[in-house]
A and B are shown apart, each in its own frame.
Chain A
Amino acid sequence: MIGYIIRRILGLVIVILLASMITFFLMHAIPGGPFDELKMPLPAEVKAQILKKYGLDKPIWEQYLRYIWRALHGDFGVPFQSPTETVLSLIARVWPVTLQIGAITILLSFTIGILLGILSALRQNTWIDYLVTTLATLGTTVPNFVIAVWLMLIFSVTLRWLPTGGWGEPKHLILPVLAYFLAPTAVIARFVKVNFLEELRKDYVRTARAKGLPERTVIFKHVFRNALVPIITLLGPMIPDLATGSVFIEVTFRVPGLGKFFYTSAFNRDYPMIVAMILLIAVLWGITYLITDIVYALIDPRITFT
C-alpha cells in the first residue's frame, strides 16, 4: 500500500512536469508576445529593458528551468495583466469567488442529486423518474452556457427577477449556481438510482423484508448505506472540476473568478498566469484521483493494490 502510494506520487510528479513543459513551450511558441509592437509601441531600448526584466531575452529552455526553480520556491512570477501583484496573490484574490460558487454547487447537487436518485429508484416509471431521466440527459449533453442563456431568458428577461450578471451580492450567485449544478446533479441522480436499484435486488434486502422489517428500516438502514458508498468515486473528480470553475459560466454571467481569468489570460497571452493556472488544475486533478483511489480502497477491502 505505501509502495503503491509512493509510486503514484512519483507518477504524478512526472505528469505535472510534462504538463508544465508542454504548456510552457507551447505558450512561448505562439507567434506574438505580450509586448508586441501593435499592443505596446515602445522604443527598442525600452522594449529590451522590459524583455530583460521578465527574462524573456533568454533561450526558452533556460527560461523554463528558471521558472521551475522559482516555482519550487513558491514564486510563479508577475502577471502581465496586473504587474503590481504576483501570480499567487492574483490567484488567491480571484479563487475564493470560484470556490464560493463551487462549494454551493457541490452541496446542492449532492443533496438534491441523492434525493432525486433515491426517489426515482423507489418510484420507478413515475413522473419523477422521467423527470430525472430528462434532466440527466439535458444536464450531461447540453453545454452549460446554453443552459445559462435559457436561465437568463427565463429569470432575467421574462420574469425580471434576477440580474443577468455581475458579482458582489447574494442574488448574483443564484443563476451561475443554477446553470452549473444541473449537470453534476443529473450525474449523481442517475448514479444513485442505478446503485439503489442494484442494491434493492440483493439477497440481504429480501432477507430483511422476509423477517418483517418495516420498509422504511430496510431502505434507510440497509440499502441506503450500501448504495451510497460508490458515490465517493463521483465526488472525487467533481471537486477539482467545480473548484476550478467553468470558464463558460463565469464569462456568461460576468463572474470575476478563476475561469474568467483563465479566459482573459489566454486572450492576453499572459504566460505566467496561464502556466500557473494549468499547473494548479493539473495538480488538483492528480491529487484528487490519488486520494479517491486510496479512500476507495480503505472503504472497500476487496480492492487491493499491486
Chain B
Amino acid sequence: MRDVIRVYKKNKLAVFGFFVITIIVILAIFADVVSPYKYDEIDLISFLQPPSFKHPFGTDSIGRDLMTRIIYGARTSLIVGFSVQIIAVGIGVPLGLLAGFYGGKVDYWISRLVEVMTAFPGLLFAIFLMVWLGNGLINIIIALGVTSWVGICRVTRAKTLEIKGETFVEAVEALGASNSYILFKTILPNIIRPIIVMVGLGIPQAIFGEASLSFLGFGISDPMPSWGKMIQESLGYLQGYWYMGFFPTLSLAITVLCFNFVADGLRDALDPRMYGRRA
C-alpha cells in the first residue's frame, strides 16, 4: 500500500487531478451551502445576464444563476459517475469470474454476450435504453451501467484465467475448498487491482456518458441541472451569450480530464504491467 502511494505521488498530473477532484467533490456535497442561489430559482427579471459580481457565471434564459447550476451539475455528474461503476462492477466482475473460472459453455455464452455488447457503439445502445426507460437520474444510471460492464468483465475474465493455473489456487483447491471460496476468497483478492484501475477509467466515461445523453435530451429531466443539458441549452444562445456555453463545457472538460489523470496514476501505481494500455 505504501508502495502504491509512493508511485502515485511521483505522477504530478495524478496528484493535481486528485486535488481538483477533491475540491469538486466537496463543492458537490456542500452544494446547498456554497451555491449563492437555489438551482431552480427562476428570476425572470434578470435573465441572460452576463457574468457579474451578483452572478459570477451569468444567468440563463429564465434567469437561473449559472454558477449555482454548475455546482449542482457537479453533484449530478459525480452521482452518475460512481453509481454507474457500482452497477458495472456488479455485472462485470461476477460474469468475468464465472467465465474465466468455469470455462466451457459458461465462457462461450458470456463471451458471445460480450461480443453482442461490443457490436453496438455503447452510447447508441444507451440512447436506446433511455428511449425505453424514459428520462431521469435513476434511468440514466441504469442505462449507462448496463452498457459499461463489458470492459470490467473482459479484464476480470482474462485475469481469472491467468491466475486460475497458479500453484496457490491449485493448493487451495487440493485442500478441498468450495468453488465459491476459491472464486471470492482466493482469486478475487488477487485480481482486485486491475478491477480498481478499470473502475477509475470508467468513472470519467460514465460522466461523459451522462453529459452526452443529457446533451441529446435523453437524460436528466428538469429542473435538475446537468452539464450536458446546459451545453445543449446554450447552443441557441452562443452567438450573443458566450458564457452560457463556456462555463459548463469547461467544468465538464476539467472534471473528465482530472478523473482521467487520477485513473492513469492509479494504473501506474496499482498495475504496472498494464502501462500504456488504455481501456
CB closest chain-A residue, reference B207:
A143
Whether the Cβ atoms of A141 and B119 lie closer than 8 Å is no
The number of residues on chain A lying at the interface, defined by a beta carbon within 8 Å of a beta carbon of chain B, is 46
Whether the Cβ atoms of A141 and B257 lie closer than 8 Å is yes
Given contacts A137-B260, A141-B257, contact A152 B132 (CB under 8 A): no
Between A18, A149, A244, A267, the greatest number of chain B beta carbons within 10 A of the residue's beta carbon is seen for: A149
Say whether chain A's binding surface is mostly helix, strand, loop, or mixed: helix
Chain B residues 106-134 with CB under 8 Å of chain A are 112, 115-116, 118-121, 123-124, 127-129, 131-132
Given contacts A141-B260, A153-B242, A267-B217, contact A14 B132 (CB under 8 A): no
Return chain B residues, CB-CB under 8 Å to A30. Answer: 131-132
Return chain A residues, CB-CB under 8 Å to B239. Answer: 156-157, 164
Return chain B residues, CB-CB under 8 Å to A263. Answer: 127, 216
CB closest chain-B residue, reference A268:
B131
The yes or no answer to A44 lying at the interface (CB within 8 A) is no
Return chain B residues, CB-CB under 8 Å to A286. Answer: 119
Contact with A along B210-252 (1 / 0, CB 8 A): 0110011110000000000001001100110010011001001
CB closest chain-A residue, reference B131:
A266
Return chain B residues, CB-CB under 8 Å to A146. Answer: 231, 249, 252-253
The yes or no answer to A16 lying at the interface (CB within 8 A) is yes
Whether the Cβ atoms of B120 and A281 lie closer than 8 Å is yes
- Cα(A158)–Cα(B239), bound, Å: 9
Whether the Cβ atoms of A18 and B215 lie closer than 8 Å is no
- Cα(A147)–Cα(B235), bound, Å: 13
- Cα(A158)–Cα(B246), bound, Å: 12
Whether the Cβ atoms of B215 and A145 lie closer than 8 Å is yes
- Cα(A150)–Cα(B257), bound, Å: 16
Chain B residues 166-225 with CB under 8 Å of chain A are 204, 208, 211-212, 215-218
Chain A residues 140-199 with CB under 8 Å of chain B are 140-143, 145-146, 149-150, 152-153, 156-158, 164, 194
Whether the Cβ atoms of B131 and A269 lie closer than 8 Å is yes
Number of A-B contacts (CB under 8 A): 109
Return chain A residues, CB-CB under 8 Å to B212. Answer: 143, 145, 248
Interface contacts beyond A141-B204, A149-B234, A244-B121: sample of 15 additional A-B pairs, CB < 8 Å, sorted by A: A27-B132, A29-B132, A138-B253, A140-B278, A141-B260, A142-B257, A153-B246, A156-B239, A157-B242, A251-B215, A262-B124, A263-B216, A278-B120, A282-B119, A285-B119
Chain A residues 201-248 with CB under 8 Å of chain B are 241, 244, 247-248
The yes or no answer to B104 lying at the interface (CB within 8 A) is no
- Cα(A142)–Cα(B276), bound, Å: 19
Whether the Cβ atoms of B256 and A252 lie closer than 8 Å is no
Say whether chain B's binding surface is mostly helix, strand, loop, or mixed: helix
Whether the Cβ atoms of B235 and A252 lie closer than 8 Å is yes
Return chain B residues, CB-CB under 8 Å to A63. Answer: none
Contact with B along A114-152 (1 / 0, CB 8 A): 000000000000000000000001101111011001101
- Cα(A22)–Cα(B115), bound, Å: 13
Contact with A along B151-167 (1 / 0, CB 8 A): 00000000000000000
CB closest chain-A residue, reference B116:
A18
22 A-B pairs with C-beta separation under 8 A = A19-B116, A30-B132, A137-B257, A141-B257, A142-B253, A145-B212, A149-B235, A149-B238, A153-B242, A153-B246, A164-B238, A244-B121, A247-B124, A248-B216, A263-B127, A266-B128, A267-B131, A269-B131, A274-B128, A281-B124, A285-B121, A286-B119
CB closest chain-B residue, reference A140:
B278
Whether the Cβ atoms of A15 and B115 lie closer than 8 Å is yes
- Cα(A157)–Cα(B234), bound, Å: 13
Contact with A along B243-279 (1 / 0, CB 8 A): 0011001001100110010000000000000001010
The yes or no answer to A38 lying at the interface (CB within 8 A) is no
- Tell me, rounded to whole Å, the shortest Cβ–Cβ distance linking A244 to chain B: 8
Pairs of residues from A and B, 3 with the lowest C-beta to C-beta distance, nearest first: A282-B119, A146-B249, A141-B260
Whether the Cβ atoms of A143 and B204 lie closer than 8 Å is no
- Cα(A26)–Cα(B242), bound, Å: 40
- Cα(A207)–Cα(B15), bound, Å: 42
- Cα(A64)–Cα(B24), bound, Å: 48
Whether the Cβ atoms of B252 and A156 lie closer than 8 Å is no
- Tell me, rounded to whole Å, the shortest Cβ–Cβ distance linking A81 to chain B: 14
Whether the Cβ atoms of A143 and B121 lie closer than 8 Å is no
Whether the Cβ atoms of A23 and B128 lie closer than 8 Å is yes
Return chain B residues, CB-CB under 8 Å to A285. Answer: 118-119, 121
> A15, A157, A194: which contacts B112 (Cβ < 8 A)?
A15
CB closest chain-B residue, reference A146:
B249
Whether the Cβ atoms of A150 and B249 lie closer than 8 Å is yes
Return chain B residues, CB-CB under 8 Å to A241. Answer: 121
CB closest chain-B residue, reference A141:
B260
CB closest chain-A residue, reference B246:
A153
Chain A residues 13-65 with CB under 8 Å of chain B are 14-16, 18-19, 22-23, 26-27, 29-30
